[in-house]
Amino acid sequence: MTTTQADTWGLHESQFWLRGKQPGERVHHAAELGFWNVYGHPEAEEVLRDPATYSSDTTRLVPKDMMPDIDLEEMQAGNLLQLDPPLHNKMRKLVSRAFTPKVVADLEPRIAAVTHEMLDAAGGDGRLELVEDLAYPLPVIVIAELLGVPASDRHLFKGWVDKLFDSSEQFSLKEQSKGRQEAVEKSLEGQQALVEYLGQHVDERRKQPREDLLTKLVEAEVDGEKLTRNEVVNFANVLLLAGHITTTMLLGNAVLCLDTHREWDERVRADRALVPPVIEESLRYLSPFAAVARATTREVELGGTTVPADQMLMVWVAAANRDDRVFAEPDTFNPLRDPNPHLAFGRGIHFCIGAPLARLEGRVALNILFDRYPALRTIPDEPPKFQINPNMTGVRELPLTTA
Ligand code: HEM
């Protein structure tokens, strides 16, 4: 890989999957950590498309003493990300009825209005801190308004969510480090606060329905069955979490990709039809959700390796998105690559339900940034800061000059 300005900021160090990965490696047993890394694109697709062999319910592999006294079943009910068929199909159908393409498309004017509001508030001193001024608040406000919880509570969500993700500890099924234990406890604290908060809102909607997604979720029915309180709370929780931190990273990463590839910055500003391909290529080049987890339900051959039953797999979609068997010159940022079958939104039954919303937010926000600022440039003395969680790739601070 060639060294770029981004390396000097530690961008590649922030991409955990690059560490220790050998060139061409597809499946790797990290014996010391007790799990398997899947790096290859065809192998990652194979895993994501076969939920019977590769279960999303990874909690069953976690040693009991690693989790303090918590009711896993209660915590998982309604959490689409960790459900397997047939429960997943039922749940996904129910939420798809509430979270339709029309619901998303109708948000476009509101996304534009919030973007302008945020940028107006950021002031005109020729500087932006992209994450704080736009990339964090925009997706949170949109998802909060959609659900029907007050967007003005976003400082609360941020506190809880930071507790969930602010850990540089790599998950290990073997070693019980003090840091790991503290990270789990902190993360559960944040999780609990968020669940209690959402529970109160769900109870209110049951008594007094409104025009919002929470009410739609409370009322949605498939085959005469409704979601339980727990299911609604946990699904809303997933939406709030998955719906904002990832999109924050997408916006920051897209701007960073254009800052480090100035020729593309010029081209996309001149031809806005390139905005969607720029977003797709940013998702491939810097995949926000770097890894997704699965557990094997039986012994299986994967990428020429035998993986036993009951093993944890980390499927590094960020690495798969750089597989040279699928992407020519994978380390080159090239929005014109066609096709671009990146796995940044996953594949198969768990394919990101929020992908249309994330793409819409990315498209609207980038266009407005281009309209308002003739240039957006990183500042040499104030380099970007990256997420410290190894499973995420993205900026968490991106200071820019706007002229
Ligand atoms: C699932 C990435 C934005 C809600 C997923 C998965 C990935 C992903 C990789 C698959 C997980 C797996 O297979 O285990 C992203 C990225 C985003 C983004 C990179 C932004 C750039 C959103 C948004 C929402 C959302 C905006 C909601 C508003 C969900 C939900 C699932 C999911 C509910 C679970 C779907 C299921 O299990 O059936 N996302 N996501 N995501 N995402 Fe997103």
| Ligand 1 midpoint to CA 375 (Å) | 31
Whole-Å CA distances, 171 to 62, 79, 174 = 10, 20, 9
Token pair for 335:
């929005």
Per-residue pLDDT of 72-84, as tens digits, reads 666 677 789 999 9
Q: What is the ipTM of this complex?
A: 0.99
Residue 56 — φ and ψ, nearest 5°?
A: -85, -10
What is the radius of gyration, based on Cα positions, of the chain?
Answer: 21
Could you give all domains of the chain from N- to C-terminal order, each with its CATH number? 5-401 (1.10.630.10)
pLDDT, greater one: 178 or 389: 389
Nearest C-alpha neighbor of 352 from the set 97, 81, 137, 136: 81
Cβ neighbourhood burial of 306 (10 Å; 0-12, 13-18, 19+): exposed
For tokens 């996309």, the residue is 268
pLDDT, greater one: 192 or 70: 192
Total Cβ atoms within 10 A of residue 63: 10
Nearest C-alpha neighbor of 398 from the set 111, 14, 1: 14
**What integer pLDDT is reported at residue 242 of this predicted model?**
82
User: Which residues have C-beta atoms less than 6 Å from ligand 1?
Assistant: 48, 56, 80-81, 92, 143, 238-239, 242-243, 246-247, 250, 288-289, 292, 317, 344-346, 350, 352-354, 357-358
Pocket residue to mutate for ligand 1, from 93, 284, 352, most atoms within 8 A of Cβ = 352
Q: Which residue has the CA at smallest separation from atom 38 of ligand 1?
A: 350
Q: Do 313 and 47 contact (CB within 8 A), yes or no? A: yes
Token pair for 93:
């159908």
Q: Which residue has the CA at smallest separation from atom 8 of ligand 1?
A: 345
Report helix, strand or coil for 228: coil
Nearest C-alpha neighbor of 70 from the set 215, 78, 62: 62
| Ligand 1 midpoint to CA 141 (Å) | 17
Closest ligand 1 atom, CA of 288? 19
Closest ligand 1 atom, CA of 348? 13
**What integer pLDDT is reported at residue 7 of this predicted model?**
57
**What integer pLDDT is reported at residue 5 of this predicted model?**
61
**DSSP string spanning 273-304?**
GGHHHHHHHHHHHS-SB-EEEEEESS-EEETT
**What integer pLDDT is reported at residue 2 of this predicted model?**
46
Token pair for 247:
């999109």
For the residues 142-169, what does the mean pLDDT come to?
78
pLDDT of residue 341 exceeding 90: yes
Per-residue pLDDT of 8-67, as tens digits, reads 676 666 666 665 667 778 999 988 888 999 999 999 999 999 999 999 999 878 766 665
pLDDT, greater one: 173 or 105: 105
For the residues 227-234, what does the mean pLDDT come to?
89
Per-residue pLDDT of 215-225, as tens digits, reads 988 998 777 88
Residues paired with residue 369 on neighbouring β-strands, in sequence order: none
For the residues 144-168, what does the mean pLDDT come to?
78
Per-residue pLDDT of 249-282, as tens digits, reads 999 999 999 999 999 999 999 999 999 999 999 9
Residue 243: pLDDT band (50, 70, 90) is: confident
Residues paired with residue 129 on neighbouring β-strands, in sequence order: 399
Amino acid residing at 58: T
| Ligand 1 midpoint to CA 353 (Å) | 6
